[in-house]
Structure formats: structure tokens, C-alpha cells
Amino acid sequence: MKLKLVTLDLDFAGPVRFRSRDCGGIVILRLPRRSAARLLKALAGETVAALVRLALDGGLWIVEPGRIRVHQQEDA
């Protein structure tokens, strides 16, 4: 099983520098500025619920309040 990365660091969204297909996938929790800890907890909960329904499989997820953008990287 490949490891997955969950981070708040938007730099990991750069597909040239960090290829999510080389690991189990990357999940970026994207919070508005000056967010409360409860919003982070809510986004983490949404991520876990999505992982139960959907396979990350080397993809890139951007998790924001109210939506999850899913990007699958093409094989190069």
C-alpha cells in the first residue's frame, strides 16, 4: 500500500514538482484565512468520509469548505 499525504501546504498542488501518482495520493486541505480550528476538523472529517466512498489512488484532492476537487494525473 502506498502512503498518502494530507497537508495544508498548497505547494504540494504543483503537479510538476510533486507527482501524486508516485505516492498513494495527495490531499490538500484548503482553509480560508483566519479559519477556526473547528473548520479544519470539519474538513478533515469530510476527507475521511470521502476516502470511504472514493479511492484516492494517486490522485490529487483539494478539499475546501463545501466541495472536494478531484484531479487524476495522467501517466507520463
The pTM (predicted TM-score) of the whole model is 0.82
Angstrom distance (rounded) from CA 9 to CA 31? 10
Q: What is the pLDDT of residues 34-55, one digit of tens each?
A: 888 999 999 999 999 999 998 8
Residue 28 in contact with residue 10, Cβ under 8 Å?
yes
Q: What is the pLDDT of residues 57-71, one digit of tens each?
A: 888 999 999 999 988
Q: Which H or E run includes 25?
A: strand 25-29
Eight-class DSSP state of 73:
P
